[in-house]
A and B are shown apart, each in its own frame.
Chain A
């Protein structure tokens, strides 16, 4: 039995917003794989829950007219990994969330919870940073859109207000078209492990596949919040993929842009080593995937996910 005072099942997003506004002690529960673990631990005990578990409109991935991918926040990790749109346009996001917990947790835990719990160790965090993903929040005052790069305010803290519900996570075509990517996770075990470090590197090459047009580097657990490395990203733009110095650039460059801490999971020194090595390996893999022709175009709304030239 969980130590909660009240339980409210929201029928719609509007309903959830109203319930949250009415109950100051309430928190949102979606998949429950974080909230119930914390409750069991005695954290937030005696509070209330507003459940968005049964709101169907928050499930699934949709394609908007302009090619934007709209991810329902209550989509569980397993469904995200297997979703045809995700597999085609942002497969590395599906790979990233496939490293969360174990299969049963991935059948319940949601992408919205992974973002809104504010954890720097969230497995989707590094990848969503590199995608400039937009969190769509609906509250009493209406809807607003916040980039994930401006979403986090500290460990476990975000700009989401008490009465706001995440109603979508959007990925715009300019942030996925032409890019490949690779997410790497380091943990002491291969499964059922919280990331000691997570790193996502994405690249967009020129048409000949010789030069990096754009690089994006995102990390989880390299700072109190998920971060990007804009200075190193800018330095890599214009570099030849055949020049091995790009790997030295990335592994020394990122060290100046991260702020890892020592924790019981790993020391700061070890994390610094991981930060360099994982960036180097993820860059190599992202380039390999690009050269292998895996970069997608813009998703066109023809029901078949056909590409347009990008």
Chain B
């Protein structure tokens, strides 16, 4: 039995049939082809599937699509400017060489978007804690923190 969910995805109103047993991760990837949302651990530890739901970072592997009714979802695809420009956060990740294999990158960028959205400035230690829900096995996190500091660090 399929359920119909109405939600806003990257600013577009979406009405979509889905299985009530589906995670939002599966719906976004497999039905809407938003493949920036990565499937990693599936248990809320790696953060690769992070998107913003009503502005809040959530692991979509542990979020039922049923709950997305009426909500606003933002994925990395939705950061693109009208002429295809990169978001300043994406640019900062490039400038700081904060990307290696790239698997954790969309999730980390969404957390950075969430933090930038608060308007607050964060110390490096605060940023360390706030990215604790993401695993990166390539970079050692230093360049990721450098990129995030450029956007919402205390000195930025």
Interface size class of A (residues with CB under 8 A): 20 to 34
A104-B133, A192-B133 known; A4 vs B45 contact (CB < 8 Å)? no
In angstroms, Cα B53 to Cα A54, docked, is 14
**Which residues on A sit within 8 Å (CB–CB) of B111?**
103-104
The answer to whether the Cβ of A237 comes within 8 Å of any Cβ in the partner chain is: no
Question: Which residues in window 42-99 of A have CB below 8 A to B?
Answer: 51, 53-54, 78
Complex Cα–Cα for A192 and B63 (A):
18
* Least Cβ–Cβ distance between B57 and chain A, in angstroms: 5
* Total of A-B residue pairs, C-beta within 8 Å: 83
B43 touches A40 (CB 8 A): yes
With an 8 A cutoff between CB atoms, is A37 at the interface? Answer: yes
Could you tell me the distance between the alpha carbons of A258 and B140 in the complex, rounded to whole angstroms? 40
Flag whether B22 is at the interface (Cβ < 8 A): yes
Interface string of B29-65 (1 = CB under 8 A from A): 0000000000000111101001000001111011110
Chain B residues, Cβ within 8 Å of A78: 56
- Residues A191 and B44 in contact, CB atoms below 8 Å apart: no
**CA A108 – CA B64 in complex, angstroms?**
11
Find chain A residues with CB under 8 A from B63 CB.
32, 108
- Whole-angstrom distance from the CB of A51 to the nearest CB of chain B? 7
B residues in contact with A103, CB < 8 Å: 57, 111, 129-133
Q: Does any Cβ of A come within 8 Å of B117's Cβ?
A: no
Which of the residues B20, B22, B47, B56 comes within 8 Å of A102, measured between beta carbons? B47
A residues in contact with B132, CB < 8 Å? 102-103, 190-192
Task: State whether A104 and B21 are in contact (beta carbons under 8 Å apart), knowing that A32-B62, A32-B64, A37-B44 are contacts in the complex.
Answer: no
B149 contacts partner chain A, Cβ-Cβ < 8 Å:
no
Residues of A within 8 A of B45 (CB): 101-102, 192
| Chain A residue, CB-CB nearest to B115 | A103
Name the one of A33, A104, A191 contacting B57, with C-beta atoms under 8 angstroms. Answer: A104
Contact indicator A1/B21 (Cβ below 8 Å): yes
A205 to chain B, nearest CB (A): 31
Q: When chains A and B are docked, how far (Å) is the Cα of A149 from the Cα of B45?
A: 31
> Per a CB cutoff under 8 Å, which of B47, B62, B64 touches A51?
B64
**A54 near B67: Cβ-Cβ < 8 Å:** yes
Q: What chain A residues lie within 8 Å of B134 (beta carbons)?
A: 102
A305 vs B19: C-alpha distance in the bound complex, in angstroms? 45
Evaluate contact between B21 and A40: CB separation under 8 angstroms. no
Contact with A along B87-130 (1 / 0, CB 8 A): 00000000000000000000000010000000000000000011
Q: Which A residues lie within 8 Å of B23 (CB)?
A: 1-2, 36
A-B CB contact pairs (8 Å), 10 listed? A7-B21, A32-B62, A36-B61, A37-B43, A51-B64, A51-B66, A103-B57, A104-B111, A191-B132, A192-B132
